[in-house]
Amino acid sequence: MRKAQEARRPWSARRFATVALAGVMVASVVALAACSPAPSNSVSKDAPEPVASVEEPAAVSDDAAAADDTASKLESMGYSNFLNNDSGDYATNFYTEGFVNAGNRGCNACHDDLWETIKDLSPIQHLASSKPGYGQKADWTDCSFCHSGGAALGGVWLRDPIHIAHLSNEMFVKELNGNCFSCHALDGEGNYQIWDYYKHSDQMGGYKQAGADGTMGWVAGRTWETDTIGGVTVARDMAMDVKMDQEPSAREDMYQASNYVIPELDAADWTLTITGTNNDRTFTYEDLKALPQTEMTIAMMCGANGVGSYQIGNVVVKGVLLKDLIEACGGVQDGIISVGPNAADGWRFPSPMLTYDLQSMLDQNAILMMERWGEPLTVEEGFPVALATPGTPAGGWSKWLTGIDFSEQQGLPDTGAMFTTPEYIETPSAPGATSYGSMINSGWFNPANDGEVFKAGQPIELEGYAYVWAFGDRKLDQIAFSSDYGTTWTVVDVPDDFDPVQWTHWTATWTPDEPGTYELYVCAVSEAKGWQQYPSAITVVVE
């Protein structure tokens, strides 16, 4: 493998633009001087002294100064001008800078953290109510699933509004010279793709299979300085030492999400009403605390968690198992087959009229959570009590629980099983957007964001997570890693004794031999169902 370094003749678009602008200004001054009246050879005694300069060049100078000032302010605010070509995280060459302009594309080229952009944008309740954890900055992949379906129970359709919001914005169009390709790329079939996904694919390397041996041999034979035209270094059979555990996540990294407006309840006045049992009861908060308490650790993930997103945590919870609550009420009546939780905010997924299969919830060890990490739930977490079904997405759980109706109505299966569109695949596709949910997923904690810099020849402690919605025969069996666009994979088995309803937290020691920009992939694998459809990708710079 050749050493990745800057091309011998780096692209000089920025220098050319500066020289060109200076040339235009000089030419303008000369032209204005040439067009001014020529002085007479005989000067009258009453004639005024000749004017040493004309006003127009001063105006041009003022305009240029104002333009420079605006550009400086925009740069200080973190905005990227599309005409200031930049290679971004990739090796500087005429392709990455002059043709691809990689550093000026994608959401994060202008918005360092999308959370800071959107957190106060809308007057209505936003489902996500907490900033990213794990050191991550929000990007388009964190928003795309919830806002791509265009249906109720998700975010507003953004495909048209987000284009109009940018193309009707004077700063974006006139001052930043923004256009369609600020956010998009054209793939090998001529289709528009979101840049944030495209940049992680091998097509960023200038060919449909830029990471293939034949393509890299062709590029090398033409004296290119890096393994791909796109300035990415490719490493086969990623050598690494992987360790796994199921340690809980930190509370401060845990995301918060609310489907409706958050209610505020007082534990002193709160009650939980149970119907459909042999001894229907109304419990106070203290009554529930007096019942048998069970502590467990469960993965809590948003049903709309994007590929590699931060809306995931491994949470220590404590409370009353649903089966113990039923026992405290003398068991359910004959013919009872479903559970209908009632919440103070009115939320029940996917409809207030539907119920859940009782036996399925019992099999999954459904629990009335009263504590997280050894402390009472916060208001945002669903205080005083929330009903959770381990192994299923948290979007189907009930916070601010006020009652449970057991009934003869046919109940829906596990909430996870209601997402019927397959996310599993035999061989992973190129990085892209899923609109199906996050039933199998993985992601990165270190590096947490694209473009983080490390040293060649020194061990890097990679870190991340993987999980599967664990119902039926679904469980996480393997985690796979790649540093060559998925051409080869290093596959590591998950220990057999791991709890399937928890996440798997992994660390991997990797020592890159060569400097360069790497695209690292991670994929979760279920032997029963298949691979994660789209790998979770991260861009790493090694110097």
Average pLDDT, the chain: 86
Looking at residue 244, its amino acid is M
Residues 195-222, mean pLDDT to the nearest whole number: 92
How confident is the model at residue 367, as a pLDDT? 99
How confident is the model at residue 473, as a pLDDT? 83
Please, which pLDDT band fits residue 351 given cuts at 50, 70 and 90? confident
Domain at 240-247+420-542, CATH from 3.50.50.60, 2.60.40.650, 3.40.50.300, 3.30.230.10: 2.60.40.650
How confident is the model at residue 123, as a pLDDT? 75
Between CA 276 and CA 326 the distance in angstroms is 10
Domain spans in the chain, listed from the N-terminal domain onward? 240-247+420-542, 251-418
How confident is the model at residue 433, as a pLDDT? 63
Using one digit for the tens of pLDDT, what is the confidence trace for 163-192?
A: 999 999 999 999 999 999 999 999 989 999
Q: Look up tokens 């020592």; give the residue.
A: 511
Residues 85-108, mean pLDDT to the nearest whole number: 94
Pick from 255, 410, 276: nearest CA to 342? 276
Q: Which residues contact 279 (CB under 8 A, 6 or more apart)?
A: 329, 330
How many helices and strands (H and E) does the chain possess? Answer: 12, 23
Using one digit for the tens of pLDDT, what is the confidence trace for 518-542?
A: 999 999 999 888 999 899 999 999 9
How confident is the model at residue 27, as a pLDDT? 37
Q: Is the pLDDT assigned to residue 320 strictly greater than 80?
A: yes
Query: Which residue would you say has higher pLDDT here, 300 or 71?
Result: 300
Q: Is the pLDDT assigned to residue 250 strictly greater than 80?
A: yes
Query: Which residue would you say has higher pLDDT here, 229 or 428?
Result: 229
Is the dihedral angle over the CA atoms 47, 48, 51, 54 positive or is it negative? negative
End-to-end CA distance of the chain: 16
Residues 442-470, mean pLDDT to the nearest whole number: 97
Q: Which residues contact 55 (CB under 8 A, 6 or more apart)?
A: none
How far is CA 38 from each of CA 30, 41, 49, 201, rounded to the nearest angstrom? 14, 9, 14, 63
Please, which pLDDT band fits residue 6 given cuts at 50, 70 and 90? very low
Q: Is the pLDDT assigned to residue 79 strictly greater than 70?
A: yes
116-130, 253-267, 287-301: lowest mean pLDDT where?
116-130
Please, which pLDDT band fits residue 104 given cuts at 50, 70 and 90? very high
Using one digit for the tens of pLDDT, what is the confidence trace for 383-431?
A: 999 999 999 999 899 999 999 999 999 998 866 566 655 677 888 888 8
Residues 134-154, mean pLDDT to the nearest whole number: 85
How confident is the model at residue 119, as a pLDDT? 86
Please, which pLDDT band fits residue 34 given cuts at 50, 70 and 90? very low
* Portion of the chain with pLDDT greater than 70, in percent: 83
Between CA 378 and CA 336 the distance in angstroms is 33
Query: Which residue would you say has higher pLDDT here, 425 or 493?
Result: 493
Q: Is the pLDDT assigned to residue 46 strictly greater than 70?
A: no
Looking at residue 276, its amino acid is G
- Tell me if domain 240-247+420-542 and domain 251-418 are identical in fold: no
How confident is the model at residue 67, as a pLDDT? 55
Domain at 251-418, CATH from 3.40.50.300, 1.10.1500.10, 3.90.420.10, 3.40.50.970: 3.90.420.10
Please, which pLDDT band fits residue 111 given cuts at 50, 70 and 90? very high
How confident is the model at residue 488, as a pLDDT? 95
Q: Is the pLDDT assigned to residue 281 strictly greater than 80?
A: yes
How confident is the model at residue 471, as a pLDDT? 84
